[in-house]
Amino acid sequence: MLKPPAVSGYFRAVSQVVTNQLAITTPGTVVPKKAVSKIPFGASSALSLSRTLPDADFSVSSGPAVSTQIRWAHTDISVPNFDNYRKSSTKDPNIRNSDTEDSRKNFTYLIAGGLGASSAYAAKNVITFFIQSMSASADVLALAKIEIKLADIPEGKSVTFKWRGKPLFIRHRSADEIAKEQAVAVSSLRDPQHDNERTQRPEWLVVLGVCTHLGCVPIANSGDYGGYYCPCHGSHYDASGRIRKGPAPLNLEVPPHNFPSDDVVIVG
Amino acid sequence: MSLSKTIYNTLFKRSSTFALTCVVSAFVFERGFNLGCDTFFETINKGKLWQDIKDNYTQ
């Protein structure tokens, strides 16, 4: 045990501290707690909405003196503005929705219908393309014959048909033309051929409508000799298809043909 | 009954009439589109086509 005199010095010292001028005699100014400002947020998603809900134990007070009003989220959240996505006819709050309903529907269906119509046009062209590939191919057409009813061709006319991909002229010559072509001196021609060599029946001239110069299609019943005239470089053919003037070197080609009866010619 | 209501009720309301509208307008569209393309072609090639120079050669 300590003797009282031994510890009395400590007591004295303590009492001295208490009584010292260091002792706080007047309360000091309280430094206020620094205010932490909470950033207010608007609940605009499920996550932010859930943050407004209590996540720990909580108690609810009730009673006549306690307000029990709860502020629900929907009173705080402003409705998003969807104006950019709305049709302008629905933006006016004074116009009833049902008044503009048909015009809005019409616009939507017009777009869909326009797409449908242009798709039908495209589909028709695709189908036509494939169906045309089933038609007679080039090698079949290259061996094709053509049968022509001569009664349909009036005298003095030249009618064009398509034969093996080329134009074919059938000319019903008048007696004047026949006489004129028969009378032409063969020696005066560039490609000497008598009219009888070129026709099986004098009233019917069958020639290919391909200019022997560069392959243009001559025009019937024109030119200086009343037969054919090539507009590309000015070759004149007579009513027997013989070259008379211009750059072409040869007469119009006479394809193989025969007359099985009086009013039908088969070319090929 | 306004015009848009008439159009909606007669053309677009039922799928059958809607499909018919598509098909019919496809014919109209084809005619107009082809005619427009031909006219455009003939406009930019004016003077080069046979129909433009035909009068020089036929009698």
Could you give the number of structural domains in chain B? Answer: 1
The verdict on a CB contact (< 8 Å) between B2 and A102 is yes
Answer yes or no: A213 catalytic: no
Q: How far is CA A12 from the centre of its chain?
A: 107
Q: How far is CA A245 from the centre of its chain?
A: 51
C-alpha dist (Å) from residue A248 to A192, A207, A243: 14, 15, 7
| pLDDT given for residue A166 in this prediction | 86
The reply to whether A89 touches chain B by the CB within 8 Å rule is no
Token duo for residue A208 = 């290919």
The verdict on a CB contact (< 8 Å) between B8 and A109 is yes
| pLDDT given for residue A252 in this prediction | 86
Strands A226-230 and A219-220: antiparallel
| pLDDT given for residue B31 in this prediction | 96
| pLDDT given for residue A124 in this prediction | 94
The verdict on a CB contact (< 8 Å) between A121 and B59 is no
The verdict on a CB contact (< 8 Å) between B18 and A113 is yes
Contacts with A177 (C-beta within 8 Å, 6 or more apart), sequence order: A156, A226, A239
Given a contact cutoff of 8 angstroms between Cβ atoms, the answer to whether A113 and B22 are in contact is yes
Given a contact cutoff of 8 angstroms between Cβ atoms, the answer to whether B37 and B29 are in contact is no
Q: How far is CA A193 from the centre of its chain?
A: 57
Token duo for residue A187 = 């020696």
Cα nearest neighbour of A227 on chain B: B58
Please give the radius of gyration of chain B, using alpha carbons only, rounded to the nearest integer: 20
Q: How far is Cα A257 from Cα A206, in angstroms, rounded to an integer?
A: 8
Residue B52, min C-alpha distance to chain A (Å): 13
Given a contact cutoff of 8 angstroms between Cβ atoms, the answer to whether A219 and B45 are in contact is no
C-alpha dist (Å) from residue A238 to A89, A208, A251: 75, 14, 9
Range of the domain at B8: 3-56
Q: How far is Cα B9 from Cα B17, in angstroms, rounded to an integer?
A: 9
Tens-digit pLDDT profile for residues B5-55: 899 999 999 999 999 999 999 999 999 999 999 999 999 999 999 888 888
Which contacts (CB < 8 Å, 24+ apart) does range A179-182 have?
A: A180/A238, A180/A239, A181/A238, A181/A239, A181/A240, A181/A242
- DSSP for A90-151, please give it: GT-TTS-GGGSHHHHHHHHHHHHHHHHHHHHHHHHHHHHHHHHTTSPPHHHHHT--EEEEGG
| pLDDT given for residue A22 in this prediction | 53
* Catalytic residue of the set A74, A213, A233, A236: A233
| pLDDT given for residue A64 in this prediction | 78
Domain CATH code at residue B29 = 1.20.5.260
As averages over each run of 10 residues, the pLDDT of chain A (268 residues) reads 52 47 57 65 78 78 73 74 88 86 91 94 95 83 82 84 86 85 82 83 86 87 84 87 86 87 84
The reply to whether A221 touches chain B by the CB within 8 Å rule is yes
Residue A188, min C-alpha distance to chain B (Å): 26
Tens-digit pLDDT profile for residues A107-133: 999 999 999 999 999 999 999 999 998
Tens-digit pLDDT profile for residues A155-205: 888 888 888 888 888 888 888 888 888 888 888 888 888 888 888 888 888
Helix axes A101-132, B15-44, angle to 10 degrees: 60
Cα nearest neighbour of A103 on chain B: B4
Q: How far is Cα A104 from Cα A90, in angstroms, rounded to an integer?
A: 9
pTM: 0.43
